[in-house]
Amino acid sequence: MDGSTGNSIKLRVIKRTSYGLGFLLHNDEVNHACVISGLVPGCDAERSQLVTIGDRLSAVNGVNVETLNFQQVLAVLDALPVERPAVILLKGPLNCRIQVVTYYDSNGTPRTRRITEPLTLTAAQNGHPIASCPVVEQNGEHRNGVEVSAEQLAKFNRDLQERLGKIEEMMQGLLNLNASAKKEHGKVMDDDVFEAPRPSPPSSFGGDRERQVQQQLHARDRRLSSAILDGGFSGNARTAARRRSFMTAPNGILSSHAIPSKTGDLSEERPVKDGSMVNSQHTRLGPRSSAALDAEAHHHLSPQPSPSHIKKYIKLKNLLDGKTFVDTLHRSTAQSVGCTANRCTASLLNLSRPQNSLARSTEEVLLLAKDFIRQYFESAKRLNTPAHDARWAEVEAQIHATGNYEFKEQELTFAAKSAWRNSQRCIGRIQWSKLQVFDARFINTPRTMFEALLNHIKYSTNRGNLRSAITIFKQRTTPEQDFRIWNAQLVRYAGYKQEDGSVIGDPASVELTEVCHKLGWKGSGGRFDVLPLVLSAAGQDPEYFDIPRDIVLQVAIHHAEYPGLAEMGLKWYALPAVANMVFDVGGVFFPAVAFSGWYMQTEIARDFVDPTRYNLLEVSVIFQSFEFLDLEGGLRANDVACR
């Protein structure tokens, strides 16, 4: 009934890191369906106004989920790649009909609205020509309870031929667009739905392959035409020639189609943008083991492009000096980064990955280690040499014996520099090749850890001419034996919480300041007290160590044009040394790492004016200094003050 009444809607939804697809599912055991029970406020699905509570999930990326149980459906959804669009087909509530209307507002902007109507009329009363066809059943009873007249039959034939002509025009347009897309991108669409998976087409098309594809497309056109003819005149119109209305939203371009299907199965849309088409595969999934389901879902929900369309390298231009160099590392990553050719998600901070608590299997460690060793020897132009084979055999033996392996010093240096180079969120990574790597894996006590970090601070500060550096302590063997730096930064100011809830100093350091007090440290209670380093080795209790004041370079804050700023007595430390991040490389975790680079002026300004930090934007001296600010527009004032 759904297919004949247009009770389905197809749309593209991007799976987000924070809230997934944006809707909640409920297992309707009575109707054997997965029903949407809620929408995440502010998500893409809610803002589109095309998804409503009560919709039934029918297909995901061409995978029919109506035959799967609830747990299998969840496995299919979990396998969807993050920050990439997924094609979701929904069926409306029972006994309802969905219509998608696209219109233009007063500004000429296209708007889309979904209309869900209850079915109060029969198909014949709603004006479906096939359903209202006065065909007599073989048992002599009339389908619609009325006599068949020649005039009614002639009218039905005219309506049917008119609809068939429109469908043929549409199919011819699809054929023309497909040929255009094939010429531009070398892609050929296959419209077979819910069939067993087949190998991907070859990267290049010869004459035989091209003729074969054209034959398939023409056969598809003939099947669609014969479906309506057979259904209209054989008395099987209600089951053989079903119509379905659905919508697609490829990158904001909305279109509505009504495509007949001989079997009534779900047909994949072919959204068109800039003369190209989107291709996807479909698989019929029946009841099977969850392992097989996960493997097949991962294969079909993550389509791989043809090898002929994957560039082996890209050219990167340094805007400072105008030099161009070739980069290939991003093509050889062993893990998905969530980016596509048209969408970059590198700047998104993925907080859902608990890197510090991951436990990897031996197989995972082997995979990541092999990829790292390959990158290391490839960088030295010694790939597949006897030295490469011997080193990999050594690493493989260590992993099988202990579940872990040790880096050589040169490998650790290469790993640290490559990690900085591949850190998408860091704008200072242009200096990756000049990173100084301090190998501190031989250290076993908190005291020697403290001495190594003092050396790091001295080297990086360099009397104000800052140098980038990283200090790496022992890798993880078991989580209970971790080495840890408890500070978020090597140098940071304390935060003292008062009885009235206010904070003197940096509010971001209140928790660590309380830990230091419990360990016996006593601060002066000022706004700019440098916290001690809190360190623990081999899973032992933490110890604190005061940093000598003479090695901490601090800068008084003033401005030539705004003398009132100097009167506030502000200062800040010069060295930004991050100490609360895990170094994850080659399948090995290093939980205690200190990395330092340089500050940007906006970073320090944000530390002063953010409400969760020193929150100084509303201080009267600030407003007197920045007289040009809009005092009532806090957001604008914050933005200007940070420039």
Displacement of CA 296 from its chain's centroid (Å): 20
Task: Specify which of 185-194, 289-298, 572-581, 634-643 reaches the highest per-range mean pLDDT.
Answer: 572-581
Give the mean model confidence (pLDDT) for residues 372-376. 93
Confidence label for 143 from pLDDT (cuts 50, 70 and 90)? very low
More confident residue, 75 or 281: 75
Of 538-542, 570-574, 623-627, least confident by mean pLDDT is 623-627
Give the mean model confidence (pLDDT) for residues 69-75. 87
Give the mean model confidence (pLDDT) for residues 49-55. 84
Q: If DSSP codes are grouped into helix, strand and coil, which group holds residue 132? A: coil
Please list, in sequence order, all residues whose beta carbon lies within 8 angstroms of the beta carbon of residue 37, skipping any fewer than 6 positions away: 24, 25, 26, 53
- pLDDT higher than 70, residue 616: yes
Does residue 642 carry a catalytic annotation?
A: no
- pLDDT higher than 80, residue 566: yes
CB 227 within 8 A of CB 241: yes
Residues 42 and 191 in one domain: yes
- pLDDT higher than 90, residue 394: yes
Give the mean model confidence (pLDDT) for residues 513-518. 94
Burial of 298 (0-12, 13-18, 19+ CB in 10 A): middle
pLDDT tens by residue, 241-251: 333 333 333 33
pLDDT tens by residue, 253-277: 333 333 333 343 333 333 333 333 3
Give the mean model confidence (pLDDT) for residues 557-570. 84
Task: Specify which of 80-84, 171-175, 309-313, 472-476 reaches the highest per-range mean pLDDT.
Answer: 472-476
Of 40-49, 210-219, 421-430, least confident by mean pLDDT is 210-219
Residues 297 and 421 in one domain: no
357 is a domain residue: no
Q: If DSSP codes are grouped into helix, strand and coil, which group holds residue 498? A: coil
Out of 84, 296, 426, 432, which one is annotated catalytic? Answer: 426
Give the mean model confidence (pLDDT) for residues 606-629. 68
311 is a domain residue: no
Please list, in sequence order, all residues whose beta carbon lies within 8 angstroms of the beta carbon of residue 134, skipping any fewer than 6 positions away: 142, 143, 144, 146, 147, 148, 149, 152, 153, 156
Give CA–CA dist 179/276, Å, rounded: 10
Number of domains in the chain: 2
Task: Specify which of 184-193, 201-210, 539-548 reaches the highest per-range mean pLDDT.
Answer: 539-548
Tally the C-alpha atoms within 13 A of residue 145's C-alpha that lie toward its C-beta.
Answer: 2
Q: Which of 170, 231, 221, 223 is nearest to 3 (CA)?
A: 231
Take residue 398 and report the two structure tokens written for it.
């260590």
Residues 440 and 296 in one domain: no
Domain boundary among 301, 323, 341: 301
Residue 466: which CATH number?
3.90.440.10
Confidence label for 594 from pLDDT (cuts 50, 70 and 90)? very high
Does residue 603 carry a catalytic annotation?
A: yes
Confidence label for 99 from pLDDT (cuts 50, 70 and 90)? confident
358 is a domain residue: no
CB 318 within 8 A of CB 324: yes
CA-derived radius of gyration, the chain: 32
Rounded to 10 deg, the angle between the 386-402 and 362-379 helix axes is 160
Q: Please report the pLDDT score of residue 124 as a whole number.
A: 43
For strands 469-472 and 436-439, give the pairing: parallel
Give the DSSP H or E segment for 439.
strand 436-439
Please list, in sequence order, all residues whose beta carbon lies within 8 angstroms of the beta carbon of residue 444, skipping any fewer than 6 positions away: 474, 537, 538
Residues 134 and 266 in one domain: yes
CB 18 within 8 A of CB 84: no
More confident residue, 451 or 481: 451
Give CA–CA dist 96/88, Å, rounded: 19
Give the DSSP H or E segment for 113.
strand 110-118
Q: In 533-586, which ranges are E strands?
A: 533-536, 543-545, 554-556, 571-573, 577-578, 583-585
141 is a domain residue: yes
Domain span at residue 421? 407-641
- pLDDT higher than 80, residue 576: yes
Out of 429, 476, 484, 492, which one is annotated catalytic? Answer: 429
Out of 184, 210, 364, 603, which one is annotated catalytic? Answer: 603
Residues 293 and 411 in one domain: no
Take residue 92 and report the two structure tokens written for it.
């409306």
288 is a domain residue: yes
388 is a domain residue: no
- pLDDT higher than 90, residue 288: no
Residues 412 and 296 in one domain: no
How many residues are recorded in the chain?
Answer: 643
Residues 77 and 212 in one domain: yes
Domain boundary among 301, 319, 354: 301
Domain boundary among 301, 329, 355: 301
Residues 297 and 414 in one domain: no
More confident residue, 332 or 139: 332
Residue 24: which CATH number?
2.30.42.10
Burial of 517 (0-12, 13-18, 19+ CB in 10 A): middle
Does residue 514 carry a catalytic annotation?
A: no
513 is a domain residue: yes
The dihedral through the CA atoms of 62, 63, 66, 70 has a sign that is: negative
Of 47-56, 460-469, 477-486, least confident by mean pLDDT is 47-56
Residues 270 and 147 in one domain: yes
Mean pLDDT of the chain: 72
Q: Which of 501, 503, 539, 538 is nearest to 523 (CA)?
A: 503
Out of 392, 432, 521, 598, which one is annotated catalytic? Answer: 598
Q: Please report the pLDDT score of residue 504 as a whole number.
A: 93
pLDDT tens by residue, 318-354: 777 888 877 766 556 555 556 666 666 665 655 455 4
- Percent pLDDT > 90 in the chain is 28
Confidence label for 41 from pLDDT (cuts 50, 70 and 90)? confident
Please list, in sequence order, all residues whose beta carbon lies within 8 angstroms of the beta carbon of residue 310, skipping any fewer than 6 positions away: 331
Residues 164 and 296 in one domain: yes
Residues 437 and 292 in one domain: no
Q: Please report the pLDDT score of residue 492 as a whole number.
A: 95
Q: Please report the pLDDT score of residue 144 as a whole number.
A: 43
- pLDDT higher than 70, residue 392: yes
pLDDT tens by residue, 419-440: 999 887 788 888 899 999 999 9
364 is a domain residue: no
Does residue 339 carry a catalytic annotation?
A: no
Give the mean model confidence (pLDDT) for residues 162-173. 68
Q: Please report the pLDDT score of residue 359 as a whole number.
A: 73
Q: Please report the pLDDT score of residue 341 as a whole number.
A: 61
Residues 115 and 238 in one domain: yes
